[in-house]
Amino acid sequence: MENIYEDRVIPVTSITSGIGQTISDGVYYLPTQIVNVIYITDPKTNQWVLIDAGMPRSSQKIIDEAEQRFGDDNPPKAILLTHGHFDHVGSITDLVNYWNVPVYAHSLEMPYLTGKQSYPKGDPTVDGGLISEVSPLFPNHSIDLEQHVKPLPENNSVPFLPDWTWIHTPGHTKGHISLFREKDKTLVAGDAFVTVKQESLYKVMTQKLEISGPPKYFTTDWDAAWRSVKKLNKLKPSVAITGHGLPMSGDTLTNELDKLSTDFDSIAIPEHGRFVH
């Protein structure tokens, strides 16, 4: 497969890039520049799955971390994608070529992962800061994972991770998903909401912890995005790792997610933008 991001250096990063952390049993995240990848292990089988594929040109870091944690001969059983934006699939081609494992995503996300449809360009007219302003420069073209990508099982089970379910959380993209483990209420939210003001270059660099809706410049359906946040709030997660930002847990998460779920219109939805009606 061709890596369409081969020569794309995206010059934004954060102080926590490369510094990973375990957030709950078998759940470890690693920030690549400005986006998190998550390594989830099944405690019974010790098999593991990678969630999302980071920024372009991060594959070596993601692989090094994996081999350090799981050994050289223990590749993931699969890679799951919360959605197909460039910062979540940036290194997927190299990872699939290296590990030769299947990729799973929601069926509605397939056109964006098989070269059939591009996402709308980033919207610079939403408020929020410098990252919004430069977002039209971000890649928006579909990658083509060919036969390597498959739709997630329709019964919401997560391949190789029996304790987990996937939850359709559209709005940021049509086929966006989050992952949830009921027994300890661990949430992998993707970009359904994030814990940093992703539109602001300064806040992204410093990773200031602050609940926020999905990144504004790429979100196309705000009504659906609000419903998705309400759906996740109802699960009452005890710890959450989002696509961008630091993990959030305990009362802070409960209170902040509640506030976002109630005041989504004032906190998350931009005052103007191509997808705001």
- Contact footprint for Zn ion (CB under 5 A): 85, 87, 191, 243
Give the span between the Cα atoms of 7 and 27, in whole angstroms: 31
Q: Which residues pair with 28 in a beta bridge?
A: 22, 39
Q: Is the dihedral of CA 144, 146, 151, 152 positive or negative?
A: negative
**What minimum distance in Å lies between the beta carbon of 256 and Zn ion?**
19
Smaller CB separation from Zn ion, 57 or 85: 85
Which residue lies nearer to Zn ion by CB, 94 or 191? 191
Structural contact between residues 132 and 199, judged by C-beta atoms closer than 8 angstroms:
yes
The helix/strand count (H/E) of the chain reads as 8, 12
Least Å from the CB of residue 112 to Zn ion: 11
140 close to 120: Cβ distance less than 8 angstroms: yes
Smallest separation, CB 244 to Zn ion (Å): 6
Query: How far apart are CB 68 and Zn ion at their closest, in Å?
Result: 25
CA atoms within 13 A on the CB side of 76: 30
Query: Residue 148 or 244: which CB sits closer to Zn ion?
Result: 244
Q: Which is nearer to Zn ion, 69 or 208 (CB)?
A: 208
CB 58 within 8 A of CB 64: no
Strand partners, 48: 41
Cβ 35 to Zn ion shortest distance, Å: 6
Nearer to Zn ion, 160 or 216 (CB): 216
CB of 46: closest distance to Zn ion in angstroms? 29
Return the number of the residue (123 or 191) whose C-beta is nearest Zn ion: 191
CB 261 within 8 A of CB 192: no
3-state secondary structure 88-115: HHCCHHHHHHHHCCCEEECHHHHHHCEC
Q: Which position's Cβ is nearest Zn ion? A: 85
